Structure 1
């Protein structure tokens, strides 16, 4: 077999392949055998029809077509390997010549991973929020905990802000009660903003047995985004009573004996959360700076496939679960379809650039993924998916997605290398050391940043290398 590679542009090549006919013999034999199992010829046992009879009865052309279809995938892959190419997606194959007993020639055009030069990234500098936990932050945290231990007592008076009302709701659109617009026995805290706009004003001042009607835009369900007339019936009013902030509360709400110990623990937790947020912010900013340094040509078909995939996931999964269509979503976001499409394209482009750059860094830095790292990543992904680790692992293996997970971990490690080399300063002018962040949290943020890139290359059928 002879093959040649022609570069059509930085992300697309044309392979020209010539195959001597003798190399097709295994596929020809397989074609005759397959046809033999499918046809019945009087005078011959099934599967024992001679090749010359098959040629006479069904035509040599049918055999050649079957043989070529059988041989093409391996011939194409051999040409890809010979050309040391990294294809993205499926090729467009055109058979240019087929001479019986002489020659098979074909061309294959395919998108390829572009050649990327990674510049010196040690000069990247970013500024992140300082880790500061104020007394007010601590008190707010303790107050939220206190809210969880509030008790309620039914009262015989008009409802006021902070009270818990038990209500029944009925929503009408164009005078018709919606099938999914009726709810009974809902506990609602006035002022929480957790239900419909306008409900606080409607129920404030009502006693048990009182009713009110108000107009509100529905946030979900079959009529999401539409104006509805909502009738609310109050069946009971309860006052909320908060426990005293003292040592008894600390013992009730935590494993600590004193309120001061509870406050100290709240401060530590808030510091950990802010350090996590700081690490995430550093990685996102460093990644943006890295992307700005590297020229990355993007295959048009890969970009369009990524845009279509992201749009499909949004419309058919995220919005569908909320009972919402794209038009309603755009209205709530106050975006035009053109603005949405522009944002979607920008996100897809960034995702593809990120993956290409980080994959090149994995190769350049010779980063490998060990079993422990893969297992930890799988556990985190399982937790975020709501599946057990065993269920998630089984789904990954059955779906052939292990290489994809390996790629995610490797890209996370590549990003961590760049972040460690960057100069990260907080808003107080203090240097933030990322070298000591090699714990589970930093690994999680690095993985998350790498996952944000999406998996555009794998969608084309390419397998990540680990």
Structure 2
């Protein structure tokens, strides 16, 4: 193999012209013969036993050329890339140059390569940063969340009211006949949750345990096609009415839900945690804003292949996410009417931003000559083990040292940007004055605005609950 030329093209591409010599090509022809001989019929020979020269004599010396080119190309291309010290980031397009003979062939491979990156300003930047404040109302809201999680449902012997949960059997009938997906048994339904078709929950206000009631329901026009706009009857039997038993917010509550003995101490801890959470979010938003500036400031002729590869990576990540939710990817496409090409097209813009961010990060690391010591890598391993409450050896089994090293170095690169930056106060949002004319127009528009449609599923299979709106 010999490289005849290496030409730089636009969009960070190179065109390699490579010659494969006679010795390499003859070796590839022999491999092609060994691979293909069993598929070639030669009179007088059993399959696979005909000598190469006999086959070439019958079908021509070129009979193995195409397969031999396919065999010789990968090694020749890889060797040429290595010789030219190219950092290829995508697959090449290949064409033969001239004719292929027994003495070899020449090919031209055009491939995208890692672009040259020129850093713009990455130090002494500025970005707005929120001031963290935690009010008593914030703490009370977090307390309410704790209270809600510890609220119990207890049976009551009275009429059901909004906010109660009723345990019911139900079956829906259209023109006197049961319809698919309209039946449920021992279903717990919170009245006022709006999880069932409109009108269903409202008609259960006032029922008691043991009651049986027919509910007249007309499905909305935007409902499932089979039931849209149809009038149906649901026969409902009430087994139980339950109300929420909300715990008192006192010292006993604090003992039950935390390691603290008093409500005062619990509130102080909640305030501390909320502050830490908001501070972390503010720091992250500040960091993101700065790094977006750094990425925007670089100069690079980014090859399309890098963006396409990142878009496919985003799509692969999305496939994993929905698979973890138990939704097959093909089923998701059918349910949403989406095509993969549309998903990739939507991913292109964020993919390009991510590529620019990665290029900027790598450029900072190179400019600052950043490295990570073995001690820093080991400390990061220990930190991860503590964070996830795992044995150190277990963490090391799943994560390679180079992965951790890259993380440490990347954090150092971000620190270079953040430590030299200035935090500014966010601009205050001021409400615009509304003129009477604008107010009238807005009111008129509100009147003409159609009711917001909600996606509802009237029929569900197997264990899914019917007539629920999502």
Q: Which moved more, 1:291-300 or 1:304-313?
A: 304-313
- 1:455 is aligned to none
Q: Which moved more, 1:138-147 or 1:316-325?
A: 316-325
Measured in 1, the distance between the counterparts of 2:322 and 2:396 equals 20
Q: Which moved more, 1:114-123 or 1:210-219?
A: 210-219
Cα 1:261/1:235, change in 2 over 3 Å: same
- 1:147 is aligned to 148
1:156 pairs with 2:160:
no
- 1:456 is aligned to none
Measured in 2, the distance between the counterparts of 1:196 and 1:314 equals 31
Alignment deviations for residues 237-266 of structure 1 (CA, whole Å, 9 cap, x no partner): 212121222111111222221111211221
Measured in 2, the distance between the counterparts of 1:256 and 1:41 equals 89
Cα contact 1:172–1:229 (8 A) shared by 2: no
1:88 pairs with 2:92:
no
Answer with 1 or 2: which has the greater Rg.
2
TM superposition score normalised by structure 2: 0.68
Cα contact 1:158–1:204 (8 A) shared by 2: yes
Structure 1 portions without partners, runs of 5+: 332-337, 384-388, 430-466
Aligned match for 1:265, one of 269, 275, 283: 269
- 2:421 is aligned to 422
Cα contact 1:217–1:227 (8 A) shared by 2: yes
1:243 pairs with 2:247:
yes
Measured in 2, the distance between the counterparts of 1:377 and 1:44 equals 69
Secondary structure of 2:107's counterpart equals: strand
Cα contact 1:166–1:186 (8 A) shared by 2: yes
Where do 1:208-219 residues align within 5 Å? 208=209, 209=211, 210=213, 212=215, 213=217, 215=219
Query: 1:296: how far off?
Result: 4.0
Where do 1:13-24 residues align within 5 Å? 13-24=14-25
Cα contact 2:381–2:404 (8 A) shared by 1: no
Cα 1:50/1:95, change in 2 over 3 Å: same
Q: Which moved more, 1:317-326 or 1:46-55?
A: 317-326
Cα contact 1:362–1:411 (8 A) shared by 2: yes
Cα 1:379/1:82, change in 2 over 3 Å: farther
- 1:72 is aligned to 73
Where do 1:283-294 residues align within 5 Å? 283-294=287-298
Q: Which moved more, 1:289-298 or 1:85-94?
A: 289-298
Measured in 1, the distance between the counterparts of 2:74 and 2:102 equals 20
Where do 1:383-398 residues align within 5 Å? none
* Cα RMSD for the two superposed structures: 5.0
Alignment deviations for residues 322-348 of structure 1 (CA, whole Å, 9 cap, x no partner): 6986697699xxxxxx99998544223
1:281 pairs with 2:282:
no
1:31 pairs with 2:32:
yes
Cα 1:296/1:330, change in 2 over 3 Å: farther
TM superposition score normalised by structure 1: 0.69
Cα 1:228/1:275, change in 2 over 3 Å: farther
Q: Which moved more, 1:258-267 or 1:234-243?
A: 234-243
Query: 1:195: how far off?
Result: 6.5
Alignment deviations for residues 372-400 of structure 1 (CA, whole Å, 9 cap, x no partner): 588689989999xxxxx989977x99xxx
Query: 1:163: how far off?
Result: 2.0
Cα 1:11/1:424, change in 2 over 3 Å: same
Cα 1:149/1:343, change in 2 over 3 Å: same
Secondary structure of 1:90's counterpart equals: coil
Q: Which moved more, 1:84-93 or 1:368-377?
A: 368-377
Secondary structure of 1:165's counterpart equals: strand
Secondary structure of 1:14's counterpart equals: strand
Cα contact 2:10–2:301 (8 A) shared by 1: no
1:357 pairs with 2:360:
yes
Cα contact 2:11–2:304 (8 A) shared by 1: no
Measured in 2, the distance between the counterparts of 1:108 and 1:173 equals 67
Cα contact 1:167–1:185 (8 A) shared by 2: yes
Query: 1:152: how far off?
Result: 2.5
Where do 1:298-309 residues align within 5 Å? 298-304=302-308, 306-307=310-311
Cα contact 1:168–1:185 (8 A) shared by 2: yes
Cα 1:122/1:147, change in 2 over 3 Å: same
Cα contact 2:129–2:282 (8 A) shared by 1: yes
Cα 1:351/1:53, change in 2 over 3 Å: same
Structure 2 portions without partners, runs of 5+: 429-470
- 2:62 is aligned to 61
Alignment deviations for residues 429-457 of structure 1 (CA, whole Å, 9 cap, x no partner): 9xxxxxxxxxxxxxxxxxxxxxxxxxxxx
How many residue pairs get matched? 411
Measured in 2, the distance between the counterparts of 1:392 and 1:182 equals 52
Secondary structure of 2:89's counterpart equals: strand
- 2:433 is aligned to none
Cα contact 1:15–1:107 (8 A) shared by 2: yes
